[in-house]
């Protein structure tokens, strides 16, 4: 591996969707992947070492991974990029195994949710949540499991020598996952036009509406908002919001005005919008 290659921590192993999406994001760049079992390990690796982090944050079918928003804030990391990748799920087994032989289906919980219709149609087969799609495939290969199927990518099936017995089992074909690129330093791109904000408001009537009105009045386009409990604070929440803006000056003015309206306000990152509406 060349010394000038990128060092990027991802959740999963070789053949995972994280690896595919990261390669898509960087195209012809040489990448030294640091494979992590959990998202928590990705955040730790990115914070403690001179590496980038690359994580899934939401899926068009299964929704957001809300805990990842909280971890970005907790580890004081910064979003510096995003990409969207179409996701197609394959049901794969050890060579020679048939669907009627399968007693369990293994995969990451988000992948299982994206294939809920197929799982409902095969309700007699137990679903088992695992830490990764591709790692589920690897376990089947390594242990020559004849009663287990994995939901993973075509790449994983090829790498681990498994047979795809049911292709494209995602509930809807228009299935996309959004991924974020993270780093420790606040070195934002000058060409950015999107930001992820985290804020809290008072427990007063209209306080959230006032914050949202401030965003609109300052010409920021709110494209997403989610709430997530404050750790250790009962019935208190942070709101995580994605906004689009025209230029850095407009964003800074809007940010300063919003800061006067809310209790707490953080910018988790500014980056280039890669979603085409």
- Paired tokens of 93: 């087994």
Domain assignment present for 276: no
SS3 203: coil
Domain assignment present for 1: no
What's residue 204's pLDDT?
86
C-alpha angle with apex 67: 23 to 248, nearest 5 degrees? 65
What's residue 1's pLDDT?
40
What's residue 2's pLDDT?
47
Task: Please give the residue that has the higher pLDDT: either 53 or 230.
Answer: 53
**Looking at the structure, do residues 150 and 98 belong to the same domain, yes or no?**
yes
**Looking at the structure, do residues 223 and 202 belong to the same domain, yes or no?**
yes
Q: Among residues 130, 86, 79, 135, which one has the least CA distance to residue 108? A: 130
**Looking at the structure, do residues 110 and 77 belong to the same domain, yes or no?**
no
Q: Among residues 176, 61, 170, 62, which one has the least CA distance to residue 118? A: 170
Beta strand 31-36 with 194-200: parallel, antiparallel or unpaired?
Answer: unpaired
CATH of the domain at 201: 3.30.70.260
**Looking at the structure, do residues 208 and 223 belong to the same domain, yes or no?**
yes
pLDDT band at 25 (very low <50, low <70, confident <90, very high): very high
Q: Is pLDDT above 80 for 4?
A: no
Question: Which of 148, 183, 218 marks a domain boundary?
Answer: 183
Domain assignment present for 188: no
CA distances from 10 to 129, 130, 176, 193 (A): 19, 16, 18, 25
Q: Is pLDDT above 60 for 142?
A: yes
Task: State the average pLDDT over residues 166-172.
Answer: 97
Query: Which residues form the domain of 256?
Result: 194-271
Domain assignment present for 189: no
**Looking at the structure, do residues 78 and 179 belong to the same domain, yes or no?**
yes
pLDDT band at 186 (very low <50, low <70, confident <90, very high): confident
**Looking at the structure, do residues 152 and 44 belong to the same domain, yes or no?**
no
d(CA 75, CA 268): 11
**Looking at the structure, do residues 179 and 58 belong to the same domain, yes or no?**
yes
CATH of the domain at 152: 3.40.190.10
**Looking at the structure, do residues 52 and 179 belong to the same domain, yes or no?**
yes
12 exposed, middle or buried (CB, 10 Å; 0-12, 13-18, 19+)?
A: buried
What's residue 202's pLDDT?
87
42-96 per-position pLDDT tens digit: 999 999 987 999 999 999 989 999 999 999 999 999 999 999 999 999 999 999 9
- Percentage of the chain beyond pLDDT 90 is 86
Which parts of the chain fold into alpha helices (H)?
A: 17-26, 39-48, 66-74, 109-114, 116-121, 133-143, 154-159, 207-217, 248-259
Task: State the average pLDDT over residues 104-109.
Answer: 97
194-216 per-position pLDDT tens digit: 999 999 998 888 899 999 999 99
Domain tally, the chain: 3
Q: Is pLDDT above 80 for 10?
A: yes
**Looking at the structure, do residues 256 and 142 belong to the same domain, yes or no?**
no
**Looking at the structure, do residues 29 and 150 belong to the same domain, yes or no?**
no
Domain assignment present for 277: no
Domain assignment present for 157: yes
Give the CA count within 13 Å in the CB-facing half-sphere of 23: 10
> Could you report how far apart the first and last alpha carbons of the chain are, in Å?
38
Handedness of CA 244, 247, 250, 254 (dihedral sign): positive
Q: Among residues 197, 221, 104, 186, which one has the least CA distance to residue 151? A: 104
* Whole-number average pLDDT of the chain: 93
pLDDT band at 188 (very low <50, low <70, confident <90, very high): low
237-252 per-position pLDDT tens digit: 999 999 999 988 999 9
**Looking at the structure, do residues 56 and 179 belong to the same domain, yes or no?**
yes
66-76 per-position pLDDT tens digit: 999 999 999 99
Please list, residue by residue across 163-189, b when 16 or more beta carbons sit within 10 angstroms of its beta carbon and e when fewer do.
ebbbeebbbeeebebbbbbbbbeeebe
């Amino acid at each position: 591996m060349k010394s000038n290659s990128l060092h990027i921590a991802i959740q999963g192993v070789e053949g995972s969707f994280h690896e595919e999406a990261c390669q898509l994001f960087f195209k012809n760049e040489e990448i030294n992947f640091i494979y992590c079992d959990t998202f928590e390990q990705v955040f730790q690796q990115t914070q403690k070492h001179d590496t980038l982090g690359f994580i899934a944050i939401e899926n068009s079918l299964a929704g957001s991974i809300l805990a990842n928003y909280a971890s970005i804030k907790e580890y004081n990391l910064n979003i510096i990029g995003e990409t969207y990748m179409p996701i197609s799920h394959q049901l794969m087994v050890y060579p020679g195994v048939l669907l009627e032989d399968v007693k369990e289906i293994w995969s990451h919980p988000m992948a299982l949710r994206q294939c809920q219709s197929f799982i409902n149609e095969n309700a007699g087969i137990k679903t088992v949540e695992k830490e990764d799609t591709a790692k589920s495939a690897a376990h089947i290969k390594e242990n020559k499991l004849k009663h287990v199927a994995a939901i993973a990518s075509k790449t994983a099936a090829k790498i681990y020598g498994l047979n795809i017995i049911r292709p494209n089992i995602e509930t809807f074909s228009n299935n996309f996952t959004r991924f974020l690129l993270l780093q420790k330093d606040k070195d934002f791109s000058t060409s950015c036009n999107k930001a992820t904000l985290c804020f809290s408001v008072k427990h007063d009537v209209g306080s959230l509406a006032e914050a949202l009105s401030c965003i609109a009045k300052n010409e920021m386009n709110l494209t997403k908002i989610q709430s997530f409990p404050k750790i250790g604070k009962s019935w208190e929440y942070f709101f995580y919001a994605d906004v689009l803006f025209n230029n850095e000056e407009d964003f800074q003015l809007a940010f300063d005005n919003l800061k006067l309206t809310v209790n707490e306000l953080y910018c988790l990152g500014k980056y280039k919008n890669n979603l085409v509406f």
